[in-house]
Amino acid sequence: MYVIQDYLKLECREILIKELKPAKLIAMDNAAFHKSKN
Q: What is the pLDDT of residues 4-37, one digit of tens each?
A: 788 888 888 888 888 888 888 888 888 888 787 7
Rounded Cα distance, 35 and 12, in Å: 34
pLDDT band at 1, cuts 50/70/90? Answer: low
